[in-house]
Amino acid sequence: MLILGIETSCDETGVALYEAPQAGLRPAAAGTLLAHAVHSQTAMHEAYGGVVPELASRDHVRRLVPLSRQVLARAGRRIEDVGAVAYTEGPGLAGALLAGAAFARSLAQALGVPAIGIHHLEGHLLSPLLSARAPQFPFVALLVSGGHTQLMRVAEVGRYVLLGETQDDAAGEAFDKTAQLLGLGYPGGPALSKLAESGKPGRYRLPRPMIASGDLEFSFSGLKTAVLTLIRNENPVSHADLARAFVDATVQVLVAKCTLAMLQTGLTRLVVAGGVGANKQLRAALDEQSRREGFDVYYPEPELCTDNGAMIAFAAALRLQAGKAVSPAQHAFTVRPRWDLAALT
């Protein structure tokens, strides 16, 4: 079956074509990602220092048709070949979600094929299974992105248990806000990580929030505040060294919590997904820790760490294989700007 995946949860428009064997996926990655394309709205939102929801929604409307045509052309397929349309139902910005859902469900109804609403975080969580080195169930997943920092126990598709999450800012939010404090613009996370590579370790000491709490909860707002305090109290401040101190602190907390999650669950596989999962410092630290502690770490391909349609189409394929209910194409539909992943079945 050919599945068209649509992702519009925030400020990236993603479209993909994934071909799943009719008999199901055995193993999970036995299907083929035929083509995918992503349009980022970064340049549009940069002038405002953050995502403007109304602008994001309108841009999704403009991009969906040309991106879909582009992906179909790359794959050498016709729209009539599509057997299901998957889209991000939530969580995310309400208007952005509605843009993608309206497009996806209208197309599904016109084609007479199922429309499959997918949880955005489930897409991220399952995306490492698209890699050549794919994990087997069960595993612990670290979902770390601009809006989410969570640890989940994953038994199989649709069976997720929340182990811990951030109590305030997500790690990605802290990266972007700290980057703004250092004058790196928006979104500043990647630029901050790049700057940290040239920084001297140990010059500045920042807190490691909740690192010794004994649980799997996170907190990053205090770390951002500590950066602001240091900038105000020290003059001059080495931006590179401060960036290095911030990245080192954040990575140390994430690695410590992941290690504790592996110990508490007794599992031996860790999956890291989401935009911050592409961070080189985090990957290097987790790789080193996994060798020391004896567990395996799996990542999505770098191009699939950010929001994309491939993960949505793939999650739909796995749900179909697992016999999960899908919605018939119909006029009425809804989206879920807030949606608990642990409540997913």
Q: Say whether both 154 and 213 belong to one domain.
A: yes
Q: Say whether both 285 and 315 belong to one domain.
A: no
Q: Say whether both 78 and 152 belong to one domain.
A: no
* pLDDT at 23 exceeding the cut of 70: no
**Average pLDDT, integer, range 174-186:** 92
**Average pLDDT, integer, range 322-334:** 73
Q: Token digits for 200?
A: 């001297």
Instruction: Read off the pLDDT of residues 266-278 as tens digits, 9 standing for 90 and up.
Output: 999 999 999 999 9
* pLDDT at 257 exceeding the cut of 80: yes
pLDDT at position 327: 59
Domain count, the chain: 2
**Average pLDDT, integer, range 171-177:** 93
pLDDT at position 33: 97
Q: Say whether both 141 and 275 belong to one domain.
A: yes
Instruction: Read off the pLDDT of residues 53-96 as tens digits, 9 standing for 90 and up.
Output: 999 999 999 999 999 999 999 999 999 999 999 999 999 999 99
CB 34, CB 78: distance < 8 Å: no
Angle CA 143–146–148, to nearest 5 = 40
pLDDT at position 111: 97
* pLDDT at 229 exceeding the cut of 90: yes
Q: Would 51 be classed as within a structural domain?
A: yes
Q: Would 197 be classed as within a structural domain?
A: yes
Q: Say whether both 209 and 337 belong to one domain.
A: no
- The residue count of the chain comes to 345
Q: Say whether both 286 and 337 belong to one domain.
A: no
Other Cβ atoms within 10 Å of 212 Cβ, number: 7
Residue ranges making up the domain that contains 13? 2-126+305-343
Q: Would 84 be classed as within a structural domain?
A: yes
Q: Say whether both 67 and 106 belong to one domain.
A: yes
pLDDT at position 30: 61
Those residues with Cβ within 8 angstroms of residue 99's Cβ, 6 or more apart along the chain or in another chain: 8, 57, 60, 61, 64
Q: Say whether both 312 and 274 belong to one domain.
A: no
Q: Would 153 be classed as within a structural domain?
A: yes
Q: Which residue has the tokens 């990602």?
A: 33
Q: Say whether both 257 and 141 belong to one domain.
A: yes
Q: Say whether both 104 and 120 belong to one domain.
A: yes
Rg, Å, the chain Cα set: 20
**Average pLDDT, integer, range 310-329:** 86
**Terminal Cα distance for the chain, rounded:** 22
Ranges of beta strands (E only) in the chain are 2-7, 12-19, 32-40, 84-90, 115-119, 139-144, 149-156, 159-165, 269-273, 296-298
Q: Say whether both 313 and 274 belong to one domain.
A: no
Q: Would 131 be classed as within a structural domain?
A: no
Among 18-22, 177-181, 285-289, the range of highest mean pLDDT? 285-289
Angle CA 39–45–50, to nearest 5 = 120
pLDDT at position 107: 97
The amino acid sitting at 224 is: K
* pLDDT at 325 exceeding the cut of 70: no
Helices (H), ranges, 28-149: 42-46, 53-75, 94-111, 120-126
Q: Would 132 be classed as within a structural domain?
A: no
The CATH number given to whatever domain includes residue 209 is 3.30.420.40
Q: Say whether both 77 and 166 belong to one domain.
A: no
**Average pLDDT, integer, range 220-242:** 95
